[in-house]
Amino acid sequence: MKRSLSIAAILAVFGASLIFSATSSNYVPVKAADVSDTNTIVNNQNASDKTWSKKLAKAGYVFKLAKDEVSADGGLFQRKNGLAKEYSVKYAKKIFAKNMLFKIDRAISIKNGSLVHIVSQNGKYKFWTNFLTGTYNVNGLRKALKPLIKTEAEIIHTTSKEKIAKKLVTAEKLANKLKGSDKKLAQESIIQLKQWIDNKVFANIPTLLIGNF
């Protein structure tokens, strides 16, 4: 899938690496981690993983695996006792080929970035993957939402308060022009965008933008 900005640019803005060492081999899908494993603080701000997880889960089964991620390094992990072990690229590609929809039900901060736990719509497959690069929100591919996503991404990647204020007005106008389910998604994204503006942490990135900016 195409991204409007390079991963390098994304990392430059957030100041965190999403790459960490992991042992590769074939594993069987594992269950979600215990709640105790995800009860940490996101980026040392007042947003807990529990709150973040609830927000992501609310979006439902709207995420698919990103091809670039599974092709490059496997991109899927099992996590136990705080340690992540990577599934093989071969296995990850097999999962990707199934073209399944996933829901994100857990989000955690780790030393070098953030991971999310994904569950397939049929409930058979459960993995951990990288937050920004492991999945993408299929709603972000809607043609009607493209202008809004572009504007929201520009807001995420600027530090100028003046530019943010102007682009927020533009984003709100774009959202209000939409109809039906597109408008509902857009308005929810605007609410989340304002949360990001108030507190710029991973947990406040609009779910519509995951994998689409």
Could you list the pLDDT tens digit for every one of the 213 residues in the chain?
Answer: 444 444 434 443 343 333 333 333 333 333 333 333 333 334 444 345 888 999 999 999 999 999 988 887 778 998 877 677 889 999 999 999 999 999 999 998 776 678 899 999 999 999 999 998 899 999 999 999 999 999 999 999 999 999 999 999 999 999 999 999 999 999 999 999 999 999 998 889 999 999 988
Q: Which residues pair with 119 in a beta bridge?
A: 103, 126
The pTM of the full predicted model, rounded to 2 decimals, is 0.77
Task: Tokens 């965008």: give the residue.
Answer: 193
- Residue 143 burial (10 A CB sphere; 0-12, 13-18, 19+): exposed
What are the tokens at 189? Answer: 């994204």
Q: Count of alpha carbons within 13 Å of 50, Cβ hemisphere only?
A: 7
Q: CB–CB of 127/117 below 8 Å? A: yes
Q: CB–CB of 178/121 below 8 Å? A: no
**pLDDT for residue 114:** 85
* 105 phi/psi in degrees, rounded to 5: -115, -10
Distance between CA 118 and CA 106 in Å, rounded? Answer: 7
**pLDDT for residue 35:** 35
**pLDDT for residue 40:** 39
Residue 107: CB atoms within 10 A of its CB come to 24
Q: Which residues pair with 102 in a beta bridge?
A: 63, 120
**pLDDT for residue 13:** 38
The CA-based diameter of the chain, rounded to the nearest angstrom, is 50
Distance between CA 60 and CA 103 in Å, rounded? Answer: 5
**pLDDT for residue 150:** 97
Per-residue b or e along 166-180, where b marks 16 or more CB atoms closer than 10 Å to that residue's CB: ebbebbbebbeebee
Provide the H-helix boundaries in the chain: 7-14, 49-58, 67-73, 89-97, 146-156, 161-177, 180-198
Handedness of CA 125, 128, 131, 133 (dihedral sign): negative
